[in-house]
A and B are shown apart, each in its own frame.
Chain A
Amino acid sequence: MTTIAVFQEARAQQAAPLHLDGPASPAPWTRYRDWNRATWDNYNTLAQRERTPKALGKPLDVATPIVGDAKKGQDLAFSRARGGGCLACHVMGPRSLEAPGNAGPDLSEIGDAGRPDDYLFNYIWDPRHLNPDSAMPPWGAHGFYSREEIIDIVAFLKTLKTPATFRNTLDDPAKRPLPVENRDALDPFVNPAADRIDTGAALFAKVGPSGKSCASCHADAKAFAGWAVRMPKWNAQAGKMMGVEEFVFRHAKATTGADHPMQGRENTDLSVFLHSLSNGRPIEVDLTSPDAKRIYEFGKVLYDAKIGQFNFSCADCHAVSKGGNKWLRGQYVGDGKGQMDHFPLWRTSRGSGEVWDIRKRLQWCNVQVRANELPPEAAEYDALELYLKSLSQGMPLTAPNIRH
Chain B
Amino acid sequence: MADDIKPRIRVPANPKKGEVIEVKTLITHPMETGQRKDAAGATIPRKIVNTMTVTFNGKPVFQAKLEPAISANPYLSFHMRAEESGTLSFTWKDDDGAEYKAEQKIAVT
Chain A residues packing against B (C-beta within 8 Å):
188-189, 192, 195, 198-199, 202, 206, 352-353
Q: Establish whether residues B24 and A189, one from each chain, have CB atoms under 8 Å apart when the complex forms.
A: yes
B51 interface contact, C-beta 8 A: no
Nearest Cβ in chain B — how far from A55, in angstroms? 43
State in angstroms the CA–CA spacing of A189 and B25 once bound together: 8
Interface residues in B1-19 by Cβ distance below 8 A to A read 3-4, 6, 8, 10
* Complex-state Cα separation, A206 to B24, whole angstroms: 29
A352 in contact with B72 given A195-B26, A195-B28 (CB within 8 Å): yes
Say yes or no: B72 contacts A202, CB within 8 Å: no
Interface contact A188-B72, CB-CB below 8 Å: no
**A365 to B11 CA separation, bound complex (whole angstroms):** 40
Q: Is B104 an interface residue (CB 8 A)?
A: no
Contact between B10 and A199, CB atoms less than 8 A apart: no
For the A-B complex, the count of residue pairs with Cβ-Cβ distances under 8 Å equals: 25
Chain B interfacial residues counted at CB < 8 A: 12
| Docked pose: A352 CA to B72 CA in angstroms | 9
How distant is A20 from chain B, measured CB to nearest CB, in Å?
Answer: 26
Q: Are B73 and A192 in contact (CB under 8 A)?
A: yes
User: Does the CB pair B26–A199 fall under 8 Å?
Assistant: no
A353 CA / B73 CA spacing, docked (Å): 9
- Nearest CB in chain B: distance from A381 CB, A: 25
Q: Does B75 contact A (CB under 8 A)?
A: yes
Residue of B nearest to A195 (CB): B28
* Minimum distance in angstroms from B75 CB to a CB of chain A: 7
Nearest-neighbour CB distance to chain B for A18, whole angstroms, equals: 27
A272 to chain B, nearest CB (A): 13
A93 to B85, CA, bound (A): 63
Chain A: minimal CB distance from B92 (Å) = 15
- Could you pull out 15 A-B pairs where Cβ atoms are within 8 angstroms? A188-B26, A189-B8, A189-B10, A189-B75, A192-B73, A195-B6, A195-B8, A195-B26, A195-B28, A195-B73, A198-B28, A199-B4, A199-B28, A206-B3, A352-B72
C-alpha spacing A195/B74, complex, angstroms:
12
| Residues of chain A contacted by B4 (CB below 8 angstroms) | 199, 202
